[in-house]
Amino acid sequence: MNTIKLITLLLFISFTQFSLAQDEELLDVDDAFAPRILKIDADSIALRFDIAPKYYLYKHAFKFPNENQNVVFGEAQIPNGHKKEDEFFGEVETYHDKIDIVVPYTNKDVKRTTKFKFKYQGCAEAGVCYPPQTKEVEIKLPIQQIATLPTNSLDSPAGNGLGLNLASSGWNGQSDSVLPESEAFTFETIALDANNLSTRFTMGDNIYLYKDKLKLKSLTKGIDIGELKFPKGKIKQDPHFGEVEVFFGQIEVAVLVKRQVGSPNQLQLQAEFQGCVDEGICYPPSRRLITVDLPDNTITANSVDNSDSQKLSEQAQIQIDLEKNSWWKTILKFFGFGLLLALTPCIFPMIPILSGLIMGQGEITRSRSFMLSLVYVLAMALAYTTAGVIAGLLGANIQAALQVDWVIISFSLVFVALAMSMFGFYDLQLPASWQSKLSNVSNNQKSGSYIGVGIMGFLSAIIVGPCVAPPLAGAVLYISNTGDPIVGGFALFAMSMGMGVPLLLIGASAGKWMPQSGGWMNVVKSFFGIALIAMAIWFLSRIISPKATMILFGVLALLSSVFWYRYAVKNIKKGSKLIWLFLIFKVTLIAVGAAQIYGAVKGHTNFMQPLTQKQVFKFQKVTSLEELQEVIAQSDKTVLLDFYADWCVECVHMENTTYSDGAVKDLLSSFTVLKADVTEQNESDKALMKKFKIVGPPATLFFDKQGQLIQQSSFFGYKNAKEFIEHLRNL
């Protein structure tokens, strides 16, 4: 009860703080952000914004449009702001208290008055943003001394964004010296991510660069240069080339990089360009070579434009949302993801585990049952969160690493031990010393050990369902790219709690529907004992042959049909109509057992469908990155690469359903279909997963005919036949 009171108190405090923030009265926009003209010089205007406390302005929102042909405003000189991860615009620069901006201008016709228009936008720290604002004021300009410019000069001395006053600069139409080409143009490039570069050109004073003469070329095999995104340049009437677009000062060019599978992480980039001195002297065409280090292929918010978000894969979009959304939106969204994942096969095995733990308590109240479920779910959520954060920071998947023989056998034995405690050792006839030890274990369970239930919840999440879905992949990739385990960890925890909702419902209802102590209680407990032994066999199916698995299930069903029926009849009243119900169970179990053994004899491999043997699509297996590169290079079709593991529930489910569908097989005939079986998690498996940032199976990658990864079409998790067919058709 103390725990419930503490949770209630924390929720009340959070709600009170939220209410106070909402009740805080917002200032009028002109009081929150007060613009005023500080000074008007012969070539520039100084503008100041006084910003109220707890309010801020965005740097990217400042705009100074040119709507007057006689007075031309140049590029505004805006100081660097404070970097902020904004819930509306992502990473931005903001200003508090005040900001001074200098806007250069050129007065062509010596007008004395003009209209000065500027735009801005800001927000309150309480989380409310004002709409974009536009102000227009009429200002008086000082009298300028006009300089006579040569015909090959720029129309505006402010074109370089420096706000120079030519009349007072001593410029006389001649150059005392011309910079050498190496100093006139500086070229540097950095990688924003695996597929996007930022190239910077810096020009000397009064030197400009031709836009149409700038070319970038890759000299590295397997890497091509795609689209270049230039900033807006200056239109110039050039004596050599006529009307052209040129750049002064410094420019940043966004460069798209196209990489083939297995391409190196180092790019030899060649730049070709040409420029001139504003006095009429031109440099010959230049060529520079630079080496750029590229990270492994991935997606970040900085590398994707919002307008292209519909082209991203689901996990990539989730990753972007994590970087941009506020924390509370992230928590709610990932909790919703968890509710959806609760309906997948990964969570189903935990239902008999938790039910068996609750049933092992014997007679129990509803509140006690719910608290045991809550401890189990919290431990499960902690395990998922820990595994995800470690996978993101270190690239090590704990869940995959624990799919080894001794761990699986140990966990199977735990289930067998729990099952024995359910049976009460009546039918097993173990030695007295063994019975004594297991009875102590059983009695400890009846005492309601929260620690024991928590340990089972933690281990269940790590060992039972190591399946990967887009939300989990997106969160892990976010942690990997940003190095921020806080946001990613909270997202994973919220998702895990959503997945645990059905388990909490079981706990909330178990106390109500659980039978009282006595014969019925023993019958129900023995049923869950059978279920726990079935869980142990299911675990062993990861390391034993399908034939052995089906035989074990068959033997369990046949033995249960005899002993459980006899035990049930012994514990209910004579003449009860419920005997017919147990008789139906007996016949059903005999049929299931016979079907499993018959299927094993016939060589079938799917214990879920023992009487039929579906023909799964035949994959071409690849075991290493080198082998994959060779196959892709030789293929003239789109390539599908499926990451699979025997211990992955969703992988097996997708193979038995999606890849067995006739329409899917027909559609895949036009693909080169490969499978990377990473069951063993050897060095080759790990290298292949690391290359493509695979958090864990199932994962499906696509490569085009040129061998390039189709990132927006690749996905994590399970898709049924209908979804998969639609996905293939949209490639």
Distance between CA atoms of residues 228 and 100, nearest Å: 33
Query: Nearest Cα to 272, choosing from 290, 288, 260, 283?
Result: 288
Cross-strand partners of 187: 201
**Tell me, what's the pLDDT at 182?**
80
Distance between CA atoms of residues 731 and 729, nearest Å: 6
**Tell me, what's the pLDDT at 485?**
74
List of residues 6+ apart from 399 with CB closer than 8 A? 387, 462, 463, 466, 696
**Tell me, what's the pLDDT at 158?**
33
**Tell me, what's the pLDDT at 676?**
92
Number of structural domains in the chain: 4
> Does some domain include residue 76?
yes
**Cβ 389 vs Cβ 488: under 8 Å:** yes
Mean predicted confidence (pLDDT) in 181-189:
85
- If one compares 319 and 649, the residue with the highest pLDDT of the two is 649
SS3 sequence of 264-333: CCEEEEEEEECEEECCCCECCCEEEEEEEECCCCCCCHHHCCHHHHHHCCHHHHHHHHHHHCCHHHHHHH
> Does some domain include residue 232?
yes
Query: Nearest Cα to 596, choosing from 550, 531, 537?
Result: 550
79, 195: one domain: no
Distance between CA atoms of residues 513 and 517, nearest Å: 12
For 9-21, the pLDDT digits (tens) are 434 434 444 344 4
276, 359: one domain: no
> Does some domain include residue 536?
no
**Tell me, what's the pLDDT at 4?**
46
**Residue 474 in this model has a pLDDT that exceeds 70:** no
Indicate the residue among 458, 493, 515 that finishes a domain: 515
Poorest-confidence range of 9-13, 286-290, 435-439?
Answer: 9-13
The CATH number assigned to the domain holding 688 equals 3.40.30.10
337, 479: one domain: yes
For 113-158, the pLDDT digits (tens) are 788 889 999 988 877 888 889 898 888 776 543 333 333 333 333 3
> Does some domain include residue 642?
yes
Distance between CA atoms of residues 613 and 598, nearest Å: 12
**Tell me, what's the pLDDT at 642?**
93
197, 162: one domain: no
Is 0.75 surpassed by the pTM of this model? no
| Angle between helices 501-513 and 366-394 in degrees, nearest 10 | 160
> Does some domain include residue 539?
no
Indicate the residue among 115, 139, 167 that finishes a domain: 167
Percent of the chain with pLDDT over 70: 70
117, 82: one domain: yes
Indicate the residue among 167, 196, 220 that finishes a domain: 167
The CATH number assigned to the domain holding 45 equals 2.60.40.1250
Mean predicted confidence (pLDDT) in 654-660:
87
Confidence band of 543 (pLDDT split at 50, 70, 90):
confident
104, 199: one domain: no
For 679-717, the pLDDT digits (tens) are 888 888 888 888 888 877 888 999 988 788 887 788 888
- If one compares 558 and 648, the residue with the highest pLDDT of the two is 558
289, 326: one domain: no
Domain extent for 118: 29-167
59, 191: one domain: no
220, 272: one domain: yes
**Tell me, what's the pLDDT at 492?**
78
Percent of the chain with pLDDT over 90: 9
Distance between CA atoms of residues 212 and 230, nearest Å: 11
For 488-500, the pLDDT digits (tens) are 777 778 887 887 7
> Does some domain include residue 524?
no
**Tell me, what's the pLDDT at 328?**
74
358, 501: one domain: yes
> Does some domain include residue 39?
yes
User: How far lies 640's CA from each of 95, 252, 621, 650, in Å?
Assistant: 49, 37, 11, 18
334, 194: one domain: no
For 31-57, the pLDDT digits (tens) are 899 999 888 877 788 899 999 999 999
> Does some domain include residue 562?
no
413, 441: one domain: yes
Going by their DSSP bridges, the two strands 671-677 and 620-621 should be labelled as: parallel
